[in-house]
Structure 1
Amino acid sequence: MQALTLVSKELGEWAVRHRRHLHQYPELSGEEHQTHAYIKRQLEEMGMDILAFEAPSVVGFLRGTTGENTIALRADIDALPVLEEGDKPYQSKIPGISHACGHDGHTAVLLAAAKWLSEHRDEVKPNVLFLFQSSEERDPSGASALIQQGVLDQVDAIFGIHLWQPLEKGQIGVCHGSMMAACDEFTITIEGKGGHGAMPQETIDPIYIASQIVGGIQSVVSRSLNPLQPAVVTVGKVEGGSTYNIIPNEALMLGTTRSLTEETRQRIHTHMQRIVEGVSASYGATGRMEYRWGPPPLVNDKVQSRYVEQVVKDSFGESVYAVDLAPTMAAEDFAYYLERCPGAFIFVGMGGEASAYPHHHPQFDIDEDSIPIAIELFVQLVLRYARQAG
C-alpha cells in the first residue's frame, strides 16, 4: 500500500467500517432509501449543507474559502440483484441483493473525503459538491435525473472513481479521451407463421430466421464498422417455441451493443435495423427491432484527465500511474455528466488475491486497502484544483 500524505490510518478505518455497514444493507436502483438516510446523517454530522435534490440521491455542499470554482465528486450508491456467496463477516443481510460491483466502497470513499475536507475547510479553496447518486446500474439513470434537476449548473469540473478489479492493486489509471463504452439494448421480434414441424413448407419459421439474423448482425462489427473502432454486438437471449414438433408463430431475441464513439453507436443501430427487417422480409416474415438507448460513451475531457495524471504522479509516485490503461467495453452512467461538464473518470486498481472475482460475480469483494488510496486521490484532486484552474 502506498504511503499517504493526508489520509490517516484512523480515517481509512472509519471508511472501512462504513463500507461494511453499507455492504450488509444493499438496496437496488431507485430503492436506496435507507442508504439515503444513512449518508444524509453522516453528512449532517460533518456540518455539511444538504442541497434540495430528489431522493434517494444525496447531494452535499461545502463552500470553499474563495468559491471561485466549483468541482463535483461523485459516488454511486445502488446494489445489484445478485445473491452473495462466500462467508464474509459483513455478508449481505438482504436476500438476493448485494454490492457486487463496489458501490459500497465508492460511497464510503466519498463520505471519508467529505469528512476530511469538512474538517480542513480552511484549506479548501473551491466549492465542492458531493454527489451520492442513485441508480447507476439501471435506467432511468440517476445521473440523468440529477443533471435534469440542475446539479451541474454551476460546476466547473467533475470527477468520479471506480474501485476496479481488472486493474492491478496499487495502480491508478485514466484514459485521455474514450474510456468506457455506450451500452444499448435491443429486442428483436420475428413474426412468422407457425405449423407442424413435419410440414415446414407450410410455415414461415421464425426460429430459423432468428438464427440467420444472429449471424447477420455479427457482420455489422466485421463489415460495416471501421475496424479501428471497437464495438460489440451480443445476443444474450433467444426465445421461441413450446415443444419439439411445433414451429411457433414468433421468436424473440434480446441483446446488447457496446461502442466507444457516438458515430459507431449510430451506425450499429442503422445497420442492425436494416438486417433485421431485410432478412425477415426475404423469408416472408416481419422483423421488428426495439432499441433502448443507454448511457453514451464515457469520454474524459483531456485537460482534466491530464490533471488527474499529474495529481496521481505527484501524490503517489510515477510508478503508480497506469500508463497503458486501455478503454473497456463496460459502461458507466458517469458518461452523462461528461457530456455536460469537463471532468474525468478514474480507475483505482484493486486486482489481486483479496479481490480475485470480477465485478457482478456472486463472490466479488473489494480489497479494502484500496479505500484509503481512493480517499487520498479525491482529497488531492480538490486541494490542487485551484492551482490547476488558475
Structure 2
Amino acid sequence: MIQTKLIDSDLVAWTIQQRRHFHMHPELSGQEFKTAAYVKEKLTGFGIPIDSRFSAPNVVAFFKGSEGNKTIALRADMDALPLHEEGDNKPYISTVPGVMHGCGHDGHTATLLAAAKWMSENPHLVKNNIVLIFQSSEEASPSGAQQLVKEGVLDGVDAIYGIHYLSGMPLGKIGFATGYAMASSDDFDITIEGTGGHGGYPHQTVDPIYIATHLIQAFQSVVSRSLNPLHAGVISFGGMQAGNSYNVIPEKVTLQGTIRAMSFDGAELMHKKTAQLTESLCASFGAKGHYHFIEGTPPLYNHPEACAVAKDIIVKSFGEDVFLEKDPVMGAEDFSYYLKEKTGAFINVGMQSEKSQYPHHHPKFDIDEAAIPAGIELMIQLALNA
C-alpha cells in the first residue's frame, strides 16, 4: 500500500463509508439528484459554499485559498451504469435493481469529498483557490462536462485535474499518458435505401445488403489510407438491421457504428470521410445513403506542462517507484472537454488486485478500497501544489 503523509486513518475510514453509501444508492446519468443533495449537505457542513449558477444535478463549490493567486479545479463524476450488480458477498451491494456503480465513480465522489473535508479542517495550508466539481453524466450523452464548460465552470481556473481509480493498473501505482491519452468517441447511424424485390431476380433490385458490405469494407480504408499512420484511429460497426426472409431482398438496411481517434484532426477527418463515402458509394450503386453523425467526446489531451507538475507531485508525495508512465488507450472520457479549454491532466490511480479483478463496466466490478488513501492524498496534494 502507498504511504501517505497528510491524511490519517480516520479520514480514510470516513471516505470508505461515503463510498459505500454512494455504491448502495447509485443513480443513472442525469438523475443524480439524491447523490447531489448528499454532496451538498456534506459540503455545507464543511462550511464550503455551493455555487448555484450551474445546472442540476451538477454540484460546484468554491474553496477560497489563503492567498488565492491561482485557482485549481478538481473534478469527480457521480453517475452510475445501467447494470445489475453481481456479488452477494458485498455488504454494500447496490440497492437499486439494474443500476450499479460499475466504473468507480462512487470512489471518485467520495475521494473529492474527503479532500474537501481535509481542506476545511486545514484552511491555513491551502493557498490556492479550489473549484470542486461534482459532475453529472459522464457515462452518457449529452456530457455533463460539456454542459458545465458551456456554463462557465472553468472561468478563472488556471488548471484542472481529475483522477480515476483503474482496475487495469497495479495497486500501488499512479500515472498517466502525456499528450493524447484517450480517444475521441463519436457514433453514427447509416440508412441505405435501395429497391427491394425477389431474391431470384436481383437484377430488378438495388440490393442494400450488398451495398452495405462494400460500405463496411470501404470505411476501413479511412483508417488505413486517409488517416495519418502515426495517429491511431478505429472504426467499428456494432449493428446491422436488414430483411428477415430467405428470398426477399429488402428495401432498406440500417447500420450503427463508432469512430475513435487519438487526435482532434483525426476525429474531424474520419467524420468527414465516412460521410462522403456513405453518400458517394451508395450513389454509385443507384441507392441513397443517409449518414447521421452523433457527436460524443473529443480526444483527451493531457497537457505536458500539467503532466510535469503532476509527476513531480506524485514522486515527491509517494516516491519515484510509484509513478507509472502509461500508454494511450482507445477508451474515452468526457474530462476531455475540460482539457480542451484549460491546462490540466487526468490521472489514474491503480487498484488491480484480487478484489478489483473485473474490468470497468462489468457486473462484478468493485473498487479495492486499499487504493483510496492514495487517491485522497493525491487530490489534496494537487490542491496544494498544482
- The percentage of aligned residue pairs carrying the same residue is 50
Question: What residue in structure 1 maps to residue 47 of structure 2?
Answer: 47
Report how many aligned residue pairs link the two structures. Answer: 384
Q: CA deviation at 1:365?
A: 1.0
Q: Contact 1:276–1:288 (CA<8 Å) still a contact in 2?
A: yes
Superposition pairs of residues 1-390 of structure 1, within 5 angstroms: 1-52=1-52, 53-87=54-88, 88-323=90-325, 325-385=326-386
Question: What residue in structure 2 maps to residue 388 of structure 1?
Answer: none
Letter in 2 for 1:38: Y
Q: Contact 1:174–1:308 (CA<8 Å) still a contact in 2?
A: no
Deviations along 1:71-125, one digit per CA (max 9) or x if unpaired, are: 1100000111112122222111111111111111100110111111111001100
Q: CA deviation at 1:156?
A: 0.8
Structure 1 spans left out of the alignment, 5+ residues: 386-390
- State the TM-score, normalized to the length of structure 2: 0.97
Q: Contact 1:197–1:246 (CA<8 Å) still a contact in 2?
A: yes
Q: CA deviation at 1:275?
A: 1.9
Q: CA deviation at 1:245?
A: 2.5
Give me the whole-angstrom Cα distance separating, in 2, the residues matched to 1:340 and 1:129.
15
Give me the whole-angstrom Cα distance separating, in 2, the residues matched to 1:199 and 1:90.
62
Give me the whole-angstrom Cα distance separating, in 1, the residues matched to 2:137 and 2:343.
22
Deviations along 1:350-375, one digit per CA (max 9) or x if unpaired, are: 12211111111111111111111111
Letter in 1 for 2:348: F
Aligned to 2:296, the other structure's residue is in SS state: coil
Aligned to 1:294, the other structure's residue is in SS state: strand
Letter in 2 for 1:223: R
Structure 2 spans left out of the alignment, 5+ residues: none
TM-align CA RMSD: 1.1
Q: Contact 1:313–1:321 (CA<8 Å) still a contact in 2?
A: yes
Letter in 1 for 2:69: E
Q: CA deviation at 1:139?
A: 1.4
Letter in 1 for 2:112: L
Letter in 1 for 2:121: E
Letter in 2 for 1:380: Q
Letter in 2 for 1:341: K
Q: Contact 1:83–1:98 (CA<8 Å) still a contact in 2?
A: yes
Q: CA deviation at 1:130?
A: 0.6
Q: CA deviation at 1:244?
A: 2.6
Aligned to 2:348, the other structure's residue is in SS state: strand
Give me the whole-angstrom Cα distance separating, in 2, the residues matched to 1:354 and 1:333.
27
Structure 1 moving runs of 4+ over 6 Å = none
